[in-house]
Amino acid sequence: MNTIRQSLSPRPYRNLVRVCDLRKSDLDREAGDLAFDSEGEVKGGIPVGTKQFVADVCKALRCEVGFKKYSDRLYMYHPNDIFAMGSVTVGEVTHKGVTRMYYTIDSRIIANGQYTQGSRDYYRKKSTNPAVAIRNAKKYLIPLCANEVMVATVEEANDTKGATRQELKDVRDRAVVKLGLNRIANNNIALMDNPCYTQLMMLRDQGVTLNPDVDATLTEAAGAHDKYMAIDQQKTTFWYRHSEDKWYSRANCTAYGVYADDAIQEFNTECVPQAVKTKIDVLAVLQGGAYQPAIGYKDRSNRVFYVAD
C-alpha cells in the first residue's frame, strides 16, 4: 500500500466523455461514409482529408479514436479507460481573408493563458502544423489519474443523490396535501419540522389509532426522509479498480462522492479488505446506480465504488 501523488487541482473542465458513450471510428473505412447522414447532416466521424492525421495521432498515443453523433470532435482513449483522455478537432478557419487548416488539441490539463479560465479555448492548443499538433497530443492527452477519475464521477453521483432529494420533496408535498397543511406548503417549510406532523407521529407512537389515509401518509413521508438522511449522512470510502491487480482508495467520503482531502492509497488486489470486497461484489451485480443503504453506490462504469463504512 503506497500513498500516491495528488493530481492537479480540478478546474471547471466540462469536456470529459465516457468511453462507453462514444461511437467507434474505423480508420480503414472511407471518410465520406462517416461524414454525413442521408439528410446531409454532419453525422460525426473522421472528416474528409484528415484520416492520415488522426491515424498518426492514434499511432503516437497508442490509442483508439471515437466520436459522438453530430460532433466533429474526435476523442482519444485507451480501451480500458473510463473517460477519454481528450479530443482533437480539425477544421478550416478564415481570419482576415486567409483560410488555414487548424489542428486543435483539447485537454483538461491545458492552461492557455491567452484566454480566461472557463472559456472553451482555455483548454485548447491550436496549430496549423500537424507535426506540432501531434507533439501537443503526446504532451497533453494522457489518461486520468485515480483522483481525476474520482472527481469526474462526483457530478453524476450528485445527480443521483439529487433525484433522491427530489423524491423526498415529492413525498413531502403529497403528505402536505393529504394532511391539509396548506400553510406549510405555502411557506415551503420542511414537513419534518412541522409541529402538526410531529404531534401526529407522537400520537401514532403512543398507539393512538389514526385515520388510515393519515397513517399511510405519515409512513410514506417518514420512510422517504429516513432514506434521504441515510444517504446524506453515510460515510463511504472511494474504491477504483484500475486493473485486475491494482485498486485505488480514498477514505472519508460521503455518499455519492463528496469527499474530504484525504490522500489516495494504492492497493494490490489481494490487500483489499475482505469486507470491502464483499460489498463491492454485491454492488457489481446490482442493476442501476442507486445508493444501497449500508452497502454503498457504484458508478455506471462498474469500476468505481463508494463503499459504506
To the nearest 10 degrees (0 to 180), the angle between helices 195-205 and 212-233 is 110
Least confident residue range of 65-74, 190-199, 263-272, 279-288: 190-199
What average pLDDT does the segment 93-116 reach? 83
DSSP code, position 264: P
| Residue pointed to by grid coordinates 481570419 | 95
Longest dimension (CA), the chain: 84
CA distance 279 to 120: 40
Highest mean pLDDT among 40-54, 173-187, 202-216: 202-216
The b/e string for 216-242 (b: 16+ C-beta within 10 A; e otherwise) is: ebbeebbebbebbeebeebebbbbbbb
* CB-CB neighbours of 185 under 10 Å: 16
Cα angle for residues 257, 259, 261 (degrees, 5° grid): 150
Q: Which range, of 127-141, 182-196, 202-216, 222-236, averages the lowest pLDDT?
A: 182-196
CB 32 within 8 A of CB 51: no
Q: For residues 62 and 55, what is the distance between their CA atoms, to the nearest angstrom? A: 10
Global pTM reads 0.72
